[in-house]
């Protein structure tokens, strides 16, 4: 990864703030923007991580967090990304990888339609490792991904 930014996608800039999104009166989803080098990691690999790191079968919910802002969504940048994501979702559903069908939405994202979250949301896990939600939810997900895809991770001398 070159860069990961926490933020909001799915609605307008004037509605892109934590308080407003949490109130549930926007169409935003809490999201991350990933800038990556396709020569190092592919879009398909990012999708594999995405589907392992959360439950894509719960509508408008992730763990204890409920509401449309917590929907499982892929905001695609172009038709190629949409087609790859559609194909991968079909493969996962056909293989019955999950006990329920995937409800992840595929939503177009205009180039300027991602809005960075407030500064205190950036690198939240790294900056708040002892916070109860981080310990109960985020760290176990990160461990699961690291274990499954350890061959994809950089070693400390590659950074």
Predicted local confidence at residue 156, as pLDDT:
53
Q: Which residues contact 134 (CB under 8 A, 6 or more apart)?
A: 124, 125, 128
Predicted local confidence at residue 2, as pLDDT:
86
Rounded Cα distance between 72 and 124, Å, is 20
Range of the domain at 39: 3-158
* Structure tokens given for 62: 């992730």
Q: Which residues of the chain have pLDDT under 50?
A: none
Q: Which long-range contacts (CB under 8 A, 24 or more apart) does 53-58 make?
A: 53/141, 53/142, 53/144, 53/145, 54/141, 55/98, 56/98, 56/102, 56/103, 56/104, 57/98, 57/99, 57/100, 57/101, 57/102, 57/103, 58/103
Predicted local confidence at residue 45, as pLDDT:
95
pLDDT tens readout for residues 99-121: 999 999 999 998 789 999 999 99
CATH number, domain of 29, equals: 3.30.1060.10
Predicted local confidence at residue 158, as pLDDT:
54
Rounded Cα distance between 87 and 60, Å, is 22
Q: What total number of domains does the chain contain?
A: 1
């Amino acid at each position: 990864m070159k860069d990961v930014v926490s933020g909001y996608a799915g609605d307008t800039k004037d509605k892109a703030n934590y308080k407003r999104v949490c109130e549930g009166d926007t169409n935003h989803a809490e999201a991350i923007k990933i800038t990556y080098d396709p020569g190092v990691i592919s879009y398909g690999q990012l999708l594999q991580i995405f589907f392992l790191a959360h439950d894509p079968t719960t509508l408008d919910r992730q763990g204890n967090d409920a509401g449309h802002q917590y929907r499982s969504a892929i905001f695609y940048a172009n038709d190629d990304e949409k087609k790859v994501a559609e194909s991968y979702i079909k493969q996962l559903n056909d293989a019955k990888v999950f006990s329920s069908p995937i409800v992840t939405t595929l939503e177009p994202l205009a180039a300027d339609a991602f809005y960075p979250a407030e500064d205190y949301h950036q690198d939240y896990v790294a900056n708040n490792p002892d916070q109860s939600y981080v310990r109960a939810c985020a760290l176990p997900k990160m461990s699961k991904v690291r274990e499954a895809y350890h061959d994809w991770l950089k070693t400390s001398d590659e950074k």
